[in-house]
Amino acid sequence: MKNQKVRKAVIPAAGLGTRFLPATKALAKEMLPIVDTPTIQYIIEEAVASGIEEVLVITNSNKHAMENHFDVNYELEERLKASGKDAQVKMIRDIANLANIYYIRQKEPKGLGHAILCAETFIGDEPFAVLLGDDIVVNKNSKPALQQLIDAYQQTQSSVVGVQTVDKKDVNKYGIVEPDVMHSPKGRLVKLSSMVEKPAVDKAPSQMAVLGRYVLTPEIFDLLKTQETGAGGEIQLTDAIKRLMDRQAVYAYDFEGVRYDVGDKFGFIKATIDFAIDREDLHDQVLAYIQKIARED
């Protein structure tokens, strides 16, 4: 396994998206658009920009729209060509050619750890990335968040979880890491001694929260197979990573970038506003409207 390239990624996308009902009654939450682009497309684009070659999306029986989005739509392309909309033809064909994307269903909603276990055959004996669809990370002036973790993996040859510091009042929403006090941090990289899923505010070992990006060694699968249910009555990936620390080193990397929690309604709205302002075709209109609202408030 030493010096293997991280070339595969897993994207768990089997959740029901209940926080976005009624929209998610018929539409996968991962297909909700930030302006005009589905959230899962941003996730896959980050993976591809980080050097990932093959992506496995963990779905359920109601997620057909995702598969259609990343497939070729010949009828739509022909209609666009007939209308002279060649730029749009190229855009939707580029989406279909983003990466080699595969799908497998998580037949029962048993948690994130179980969803990752569904990828065992696809991953085999390779290190691999995990990207959660609720987290979009923008890092305009440097490497994508996942690329930063992959670089840290290449340096340590160990599993790496992506973290950022959150407000103390919010630690009970995340997996929280505990740095190993016996090892000094190396820049943004720190060796871990433990992790805990959604701790009480007064019990959290730090304010460093795991935020939707991982590079894991394949040994995690053996642990997931025997992992007991944890928080929420589900098989938690955090619990399995904590057990992995008994076998091999695990690190946290404090990645650079602006992270949007698009699984939260306000986080989704913030992302939509920021992404719209960042677009040349929308910047002036959106900014003028926000300023108008501010004056009237």
* CATH code, domain carrying 41: 3.90.550.10
Mean pLDDT, the chain, integer = 90
Q: In the predicted model, what is the mean pLDDT of residues 252-275?
A: 94
One domain for residues 177 and 239: yes
Task: Indicate the pLDDT class of residue 2, thresholds 50, 70 and 90.
Answer: low
The pLDDT value given to residue 133: 85
Q: State the pLDDT at residue 24.
A: 87
Residue 136 lies in a domain: yes
Whether the per-residue pLDDT at 262 is higher than 50: the answer is yes
Prior bond to 22 cis, omega within 30? yes
Instruction: Tell whether 220 and 277 lie within a shared domain.
Output: no
Q: Are both 217 and 128 inside the same structural domain?
A: yes
Residues 127-150, mean pLDDT to the nearest whole number: 93
In a domain, 190, yes or no: yes
Q: Are residues 150 and 276 in the same domain?
A: no
Q: What percentage of the chain exceeds 70 in pLDDT?
A: 99
Higher pLDDT, 69 or 185: 69
Report the first-to-last Cα separation within the chain, whole angstroms.
Answer: 59
Assess whether 236 and 121 both reside in one domain: yes
In the predicted model, what is the mean pLDDT of residues 214-222?
95
Residues 20 and 110 in one domain: yes
Task: Say whether pLDDT at 35 is over 70.
Answer: yes
CA 249 to chain CA mean position, Å: 23
Domain extent at residue 105? 8-263
Same domain, 238 and 294: no
> What's the rounded mean pLDDT across residues 3-28?
88
Instruction: Indicate the pLDDT class of residue 26, thresholds 50, 70 and 90.
Output: confident
How do strand 8-12 and strand 54-59 relate by DSSP bridges? parallel
State whether 176 and 293 are in the same domain: no
The structure tokens listed for 19 are: 């926080």
What pLDDT does 1 receive? 47
Considering the domain architecture, whether residues 152 and 289 belong to the same structural domain is answered as no
Same structural domain for residues 213 and 285? no
Query: Is 3 a domain residue?
Result: no
Q: How many domains would you assign to the chain? A: 2
Considering the domain architecture, whether residues 102 and 153 belong to the same structural domain is answered as yes
211 and 276 in a single domain? The answer is no
pLDDT of residue 269: 96
What is the pTM for the complete model shown?
0.90
Nearest to 150 by CA among 175, 176, 127: 127
